[in-house]
A and B are shown apart, each in its own frame.
Chain A
Amino acid sequence: MPARYAMVIDTRTCIGCGDCVVACKTENNVPAGLNRDWIVEATRGRYPNLTTEFRSERCNHCSHATCVYACPTGASHYWQNTNIVLVEPGKCTGCKACIAACPYDARLIMHPQGYVDKCTFCHHRVARGQDPACVSSCPTHCMHFGDLNDANSIVSQLLDRRKSRALKPETGNQPNVFYLS
């Protein structure tokens, strides 16, 4: 069975430091101003009864990725039949259909070349058995990466044990980035 890669992020230990964002930029040479990942600070409640949650967000590498289905040339594709969604620059026309198709607004155009770029879950590292750069660099170890089809993986175990949620599952995209709370 092909792997179903997931990221599990513990919002109780994330401090919103931004190291994952910097690690991604460094690892993938993302140009200034553009971001493949970002951090959201969500505050709920009414003063003084407030709770704050930090979420490191990126492409959800959906199992039902609308961006892949919208692509007219097959440039958007699943990597090696896993759920990792990549763009093949040599097939991308820059039509931007995938950007419109993403309910998470997680894709971006890499200027000046003009093809669409996005988070790759660092598949070049995954192919070597390593974690994505953002996960490796997290100073609080709140980020975890692994295969959900492997019951013994750290991500499967965390989702079994802890309360979790994915962002907007009602889109029907079956996102694979989960947040523990």
Chain B
Amino acid sequence: MIEEILITARDNAKVDPYLNIWTWEISIYLFLGGMTAGMMIFAAWAVLAKKDDLAPFASNKLALWAPIVLSIGMTTLFLDLEHKLYVWRFYTTLQVTSPMSWGSWILILVYPVAILQVLSTLRAGYPKLAQLAERLPLVTPVLDISESQKRRIALASIPLGIGLAIYTGILLSAFSARPFWNTGILGPLFLVSGLSTAAAFVLLATRAHAEKLLFARIDIGLILVEMLLIALFIVNLTTGSEAHLNAARLILGGEFTLLFWGWFFTLGLVIPLLIEILEVRGSRLALVTLGPVLVLVGGYLLRQVMMDVGQVSTWTQYESQYDMQLLQRLER
């Protein structure tokens, strides 16, 4: 056997005893970033496919929420930065090998397009808000132009939405130092999860029965694809090297098994899938609203699980004899 012990003091904040650099701020950001992407894609799809009658909320009202949700996510992302005054440094360079650098530029492109999506649907979706806004100078011509370019804006929104959602996954998967994350499947997985949470948002927000049924059907498909991607993710880990196998053990019998399978997979995917199937089959049970709520919970839990397990999965693990509390007792 081999036992490796740290014999000098090492209590580096957020690194020891195991990595804990990213917490809820990043989980929330990844969750809301994915949801924003899904909202942009669905809003654009509804416009391009001319779904005004069948999906009135997605066609005209959904777009407004994308920049709002993204802004909340960007706020928590900012909260995570340790050297906040230097945030502008993201925008003085493009580092081609850094997914985070790509992501910061994708966000710069996403924002104006998301806002154009709002402007192009504002009069149809929120007439009172549009009236209020039109009291300001220049708003009327801006709305006119945006409406005339509605399809072009929608066409731009789809690749940007896909880029935003996939980047949130690739951001993690590009870290070879964290075996649990180190698979490109995280890109598509986060995209499908983002679409699913956006569909759940529509299900909660719309009052049109036909739209509810349409999005419940879409979400059922998305949840099934998400489950398939999870299966591929597990296959990838369990057929990997020693470092990947150790990472897989964390959710296959290890300390995160309950969080992954009990909370995320069962509560966040299986149960809402069953509820949405009931809804599509015509059940009028009060619990149908619980379905999309659980999809949102599941979407967040996916990011939280990834954050927690990914940071514990590592190439190096030492036992530490150093106990910070002993030092604190001395200082007293």
- A residues adjacent to B (C-beta < 8 A): 16, 18, 21, 33-35, 38-46, 54, 66, 69-75, 89-97, 99-105, 107-109, 111, 113-116, 167-168, 170-172
Contacts and interface: CB of A to CB of B under 8 A. Distances in A.
A40 B5 contact: yes
Nearest to A31: B13
A99 B101 contact: no
Chief secondary structure at chain B's binding surface: loop
Contacts of B327: 33
Interface stretch (B66-74, B88-96, B224-232, B287-295): B88-96
B83 A99 contact: no
B315 A44 contact: no
11 contacts: A21-B9, A33-B9, A34-B12, A66-B176, A93-B82, A93-B86, A93-B90, A103-B176, A111-B13, A167-B316, A171-B177
A74 B104 CA distance: 14
A172 B176 contact: yes
Contacts of A99: 14-15, 19, 21
A158 to B, nearest CB: 24
B182 to A, nearest CB: 11
B212 interface: no
B15 A42 contact: no
A41 B13 CA distance: 22
A74 B176 contact: no
Given A35-B8, A93-B81, A100 B19 contact: yes
Contact of A42 (B4, B10, B89, B178): B4
Given A94-B83, A103-B177, A171-B315, A41 B89 contact: no
A100 B100 CA distance: 12
Contacts of B148: none
B117 interface: no
A148 B67 CA distance: 53
B53 interface: no
Contacts of B103: 72
Given A38-B8, A96-B80, 6 more contacts: A66-B176, A72-B104, A92-B89, A95-B81, A99-B19, A170-B241
B97 interface: yes
B22 A71 contact: no
Given A41-B5, A43-B2, A44-B2, A96 B22 contact: yes
B324 interface: yes
A45 B3 CA distance: 9
B41 to A, nearest CB: 25
A42 B98 contact: no
Interface string B3-32: 111111111111110010110000000000
A108 B13 contact: yes
A59 to B, nearest CB: 12
Please list the 10 inter-chain residue pairs (A to B) with the smallest Cβ-Cβ separation, ordered nearest first: A94-B82, A94-B83, A114-B82, A72-B101, A72-B100, A103-B177, A69-B97, A114-B83, A108-B12, A103-B315
B259 to A, nearest CB: 20
Contacts of B261: none
A177 to B, nearest CB: 13
